[in-house]
Amino acid sequence: MIAVLQRVSESSVSIDGNIKSAIKTGLMVLLGIEEADEMEDVEWICKKTAHMRIFPDEKGVMNKSILEVGGDMLVISQFTLHASTKKGNRPSYIKAAKPEKAIPLYESCLRNMEKVLGKPVASGEFGANMQVSLINDGPVTIILDSKNKV
């Protein structure tokens, strides 16, 4: 499971020109689920995301987590994070999980993150053509991969 965390001052996701979800200060998370992923990956990604110290403290040092600043979170499913670009110029998505596997894990991730944060998490719509807007604060962008925990 790959998660791209972007610290934002605001972010939203639209479908067919209509805003589905919007947040202010917090994290916009792009989440890529692969066939090899299990609940252990969901739990690790959620815990790691919630505790990443990428928000500024009183001295402006990145020393606080989203939990400590009370930030919001928007999670967007993005299978293209598992693109293989080794051969040719057309990416292969063979590692990306099929919807039958990905949807339950995506929904579990949303529920798990809500539990960890203690508040609702905004989301996109799995499989939809979405337009994501954000103001990356910093900019700060962190990539987590549950297959590279060590």
pLDDT in tens, 54-107: 999 999 999 999 999 999 999 999 999 999 999 999 999 999 999 999 999 999
DSSP string, the chain: -EEEEEEEEEEEEEETTEEEEEESSEEEEEEE-BTT--HHHHHHHHHHHHH---EE-TTS-EEE-HHHHT-EEEEEE-GGGG-B-SSSSS-B-TTBPPHHHHHHHHHHHHHHHHHHHTS--EE--TTS-EEEEEEEEEEEEEEEETT---
Residue 4 has pLDDT above 90, yes or no: yes
Residues above pLDDT 70, as percent of the chain: 99
Domain-embedded: residue 104: yes
* Domain of 39, in residue numbers: 2-85+92-145
CATH code of the domain in which 23 resides: 3.50.80.10
Whether 125 is in a domain gets the answer yes
pLDDT for res 66: 98
Is residue 103 domain-resident?
A: yes
Residue 74 lies in a domain: yes
pLDDT band at 149 (very low <50, low <70, confident <90, very high): confident
pTM reported for the whole predicted model:
0.94
* Residues carrying an active site annotation: 78-80
Q: How many domains does the chain have?
A: 1
